[in-house]
Structure formats: structure tokens, C-alpha cells
């Protein structure tokens, strides 16, 4: 009986010691985030630092919610990219579009969520909860992108990773010309060779401006099916020869599904043997009981083949606002983990697709032989 008790009491004792002045983020997380969702955030920091960023791990991140207008593109995503802690990214188009405001010299401002929106509309001011900016910021960013979409190199069909890479080249050049000190997400992804995907490319101002140039007769088209196979190829290659695939999910929505559906695409649709992602970390404020994907638990994801059942005990969901948790998570792992060599997966897309096709053909032929045996 004493042995059974000890099994449940082996956790670190909770110590109500006073928090010192100027405590470091790592000390705060390790020693003062002791229970409830503070405890889950501590577990998330440890999972990211100790397991997901292991030497053989490939890390995919998905982002939803208006994170980049709040500055989290430059403050969190960019440093993680440069450190080699994000190998591929799935984002809403809106996050990429709004991050570009900073890259081309515009400013967004702290405001109030209680302003009179009728007056803001009259004054041509846009509000994202407590962020405000001039309507001309939208018009200027729209014009910037439409000029790019009309260039000869964009008059073809491509996946969203290629679209964002080509855009990143011009965003990086604009930052250089304007002397922008802190690079944005697209420019950094371009420099680091990180593929960036958008699961619903029409659902943002980027897609809206592509639609405008299509009306004007230009020939840019997005191949969303290529995105499905490219992302599956990244995960398949990550797990080859005992490697690991980890996902860090901020919020939920379509990007969450897109980053997780890579495993069902491999197993269920392409018929290639697999076990699911090895590491799962989510920060969300969505409840699981409403049935929405945003709140769906990693345990539920196991039933779809999205998460390796053997790794489920390590999965962490922290029910915290991303704007609070993400800076803490970023600071923690940057302090605890040495930078990793960049995988530059964008440069390897053709080879990765070749590997996916080879495995798909092999398993397809095996199934065909079994049916005719």
C-alpha cells in the first residue's frame, strides 16, 4: 500500500516561496508555475525544450488568431525561426498579411477595445480588439502585394510555400531599403529556407488581392493540393529512420487541422504505414466539449492517426491565451536550448516529394499484389 501511495506523490512538492524581484522567465516557469494551467504551460515549455527540439526532431508550427498585429511575429516567431526551432509553418493568410504592415514601414498602435466603432469608421481607423491603425495601412499593403502579383514570375501555378518564398524575397528587399530593424515572418522564412503554408489561401487579404489580379487577367493560381502532399512529404521524411515529428499549435482552426492531417494523408489516403506525430503541444482557449476542431484533444487526435498513441502521455495542452503563453514559451526555449542548424526544408521540397511518391507507389503496388493473390 505505501508503494502505491508513493506512485501518486512522486511529483515535485509545491513550495509557496515568495517571487523575487526581476525573476527570470526560466526561473518563473520552473519554480512558480506550479499548478492548473500554469502547470500545463510549464509542461509545455519542458516538452518543447527537452523533447520537441531534440536533435532529430522536425518541428512544425501552426498559428491562428491575430497574433502578428500584436507584434508576436517579430517578437516570437522570427527568433524561433532564426534559432532553427521552427522547420515549417502553417499560418492563416491574415497573419502573414498583417505582419507585412511592419515590414513595409507602417505602424499599428495600442488602443482600447471600448472605443466607439462608428466613430472609428468615420475616421477611417481599423480596430482589432485593442489594436488600431489607419485604413490607409490596408490600402498600401494591398497595393504592395498587387504590384508583386502582377510581376512575370508570379504568372504561373504554384503552392503556397512557393508563393510565400517569392513574396518573402521582395518583403526582405523592402525591409532593407527602408532600414527596418526587425525582420518579419515572410522575410525571415525566405532567408532561412522555411516553407510557409496557408491552408485556406482565399480567406485573407492576400487571397482577396490575388482574386483581384485574376479579374484583371493575370495568371497566378494556387495549387492547394500540392500543399497537402508537400506537408505530408515533410512529415514522412521527418520520421524516416527513427526521426521525430513535433507539432506546436497556437490556437486551432484550419491551420491546426492542416498541420495534423499530414499523418492521415500518409496513412489513410496514401496507404503508407505510420504512427502519427510524435510530439503534440497546443496553446488554446477553445473548449473540447463543443465538438470543434480548435478544442479537440490530442487523445481524440489519436483515434484519427494524427498522434502516436505511444506518445500520448507526453502531449500537452495549455488552456492559456496565446498572447500570454507564446512569449513565455519563446523566451524559455531560447534560454534553455542552443540554436539548431537550419533544415532549409523549402530547398528540399522536390526531393521530399520524390520520397513521398516512392513510398506511395511501393505501398500501392503491395496492396495491388495482395488483392490479386
Sign of CA dihedral 88, 62, 73, 324: negative
Pinpoint the alpha helices (H) of the chain: 2-8, 25-32, 36-47, 72, 78-82, 93-103, 117-122, 135-149, 160-178, 185-192, 205-215, 224-239, 253-260, 262-264, 298-303, 322-336, 349-372
How far is residue 23 from each of residues 15, 26, 222, 250, measured CA to CA in Å?
A: 16, 8, 48, 26
Q: Which three cell numbers stand for residue 15?
A: 513550495
Q: Is 217 helix (H, G, I), strand (E, B) or coil?
A: coil
Task: Give the separation between CA 121 and CA 127, rounded to whole angstroms.
Answer: 9
As given in the structure block, the three cell numbers for residue 368 are 495491388
Q: Please give the C-alpha separations between residue 138 and each of 73, 101, 134, 344, 367, in angstroms, as whole numbers.
A: 18, 8, 8, 31, 52
Using CB atoms within 10 A of its CB, is residue 7 exposed (0-12), middle (13-18) or buried (19+)?
A: exposed
Q: Which of 306, 338, 343, 369 is catalytic?
A: 306
Would you say how long the chain is, in residues?
A: 373
Cα–Cα distance for residue pair 308/298, rounded to 1 Å:
9
- The string of pLDDT tens digits covering residues 228-282 is 999 999 999 999 888 999 999 999 999 999 999 999 999 999 999 999 999 999 9
> Would you state the cell numbers that stand for residue 191, as one nine-digit string?
532567408
pLDDT of residue 241: 82
Please state, in angstroms and rounded to a whole number, the distance separating the CA atoms of residues 283 and 325. 7
What H or E segment, with its residue span, contains residue 125? strand 125-128
- 43-368 homologous superfamily: Deoxyhypusine synthase (3.40.910.10)
- The ranges assigned to domains in the chain are 43-368
What local confidence, expressed as pLDDT, does residue 3 receive?
Answer: 65
291-332 per-position pLDDT tens digit? 999 999 999 999 999 999 999 999 999 999 999 999 999 999
So what's the pLDDT on residue 251?
Answer: 97
How many beta carbons lie within 10 A of that of residue 141, not counting itself? Answer: 20
Catalytic status, residue 306: yes
Entry pTM: 0.95
Phi/psi for 83 (5° steps) reads -80, -5
What pLDDT score does 158 carry? 98
CA distance 305 to 26: 34
Asked whether 274 and 239 are in contact (CB, 8 A), the reply is: yes
Measured between alpha carbons, how far is 37 from 317 in angstroms, rounded to an integer? 9
- Decide: helix, strand or coil at residue 10: coil
Per-residue model confidence (pLDDT) at position 2: 60
The alpha carbon torsion through 121, 126, 131, 134 (nearest 10 deg) reads -110
Residues of the chain with pLDDT under 50: none
Amino acid at each position: 500500500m505505501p508503494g502505491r501511495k508513493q506512485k501518486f506523490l512522486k511529483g515535485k512538492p509545491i513550495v509557496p516561496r515568495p517571487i523575487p524581484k526581476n525573476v527570470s522567465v526560466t526561473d518563473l516557469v520552473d519554480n512558480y508555475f506550479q499548478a492548473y494551467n500554469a502547470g500545463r504551460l510549464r509542461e509545455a515549455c519542458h516538452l518543447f525544450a527537452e523533447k520537441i527540439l531534440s536533435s532529430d526532431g522536425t518541428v512544425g508550427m501552426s498559428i491562428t488568431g491575430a497574433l502578428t498585429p500584436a507584434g508576436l511575429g517579430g517578437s516570437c516567431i522570427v527568433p524561433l525561426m532564426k534559432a532553427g526551432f521552427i522547420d515549417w509553418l502553417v499560418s492563416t493568410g491574415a497573419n502573414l498579411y498583417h505582419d507585412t504592415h511592419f515590414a513595409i514601414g507602417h505602424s499599428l498602435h495600442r488602443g482600447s477595445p471600448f472605443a466607439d466603432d462608428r466613430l472609428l469608421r468615420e475616421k477611417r481607423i481599423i480596430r482589432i480588439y485593442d489594436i488600431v491603425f489607419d485604413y490607409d495601412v490596408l490600402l498600401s499593403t494591398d497595393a504592395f502585394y498587387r504590384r508583386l502579383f502582377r510581376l512575370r514570375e508570379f504568372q504561373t501555378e504554384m503552392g503556397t510555400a512557393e508563393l510565400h518564398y517569392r513574396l518573402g524575397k521582395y518583403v526582405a528587399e523592402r525591409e532593407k531599403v527602408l532600414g527596418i530593424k526587425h525582420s518579419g515572418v515572410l522575410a525571415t522564412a525566405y532567408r532561412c529556407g522555411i516553407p510557409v503554408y496557408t491552408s485556406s489561401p482565399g480567406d485573407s487579404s492576400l487571397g482577396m488581392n490575388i482574386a483581384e489580379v485574376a479579374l484583371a487577367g493575370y495568371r497566378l493560381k494556387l495549387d492547394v493540393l500540392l500543399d497537402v502532399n508537400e506537408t505530408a512529404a515533410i512529415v514522412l521524411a521527418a520520421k524516416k529512420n527513427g526521426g521525430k515529428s513535433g507539432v506546436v499549435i497556437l490556437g486551432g482552426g484550419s491551420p491546426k487541422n492542416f498541420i495534423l492531417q499530414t499523418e492521415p494523408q500518409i496513412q489513410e489516403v496514401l496507404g503508407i504505414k505510420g504512427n502519427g506525430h510524435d510530439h503534440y503541444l497546443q496553446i488554446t482557449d477553445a473548449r473540447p466539449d463543443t465538438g470543434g476542431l480548435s478544442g479537440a484533444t490530442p487523445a481524440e487526435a489519436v483515434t484519427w492517426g494524427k498522434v502516436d498513441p505511444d506518445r500520448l502521455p507526453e502531449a500537452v495542452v495549455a488552456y492559456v491565451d496565446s498572447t500570454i503563453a507564446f512569449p513565455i514559451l519563446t523566451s524559455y526555449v531560447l534560454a534553455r536550448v542552443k540554436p539548431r542548424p537550419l533544415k532549409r526544408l523549402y530547398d528540399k521540397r522536390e526531393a521530399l516529394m520524390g520520397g513521398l511518391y516512392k513510398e506511395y507507389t511501393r505501398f500501392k503496388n503491395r496492396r495491388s499484389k495482395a488483392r490479386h493473390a
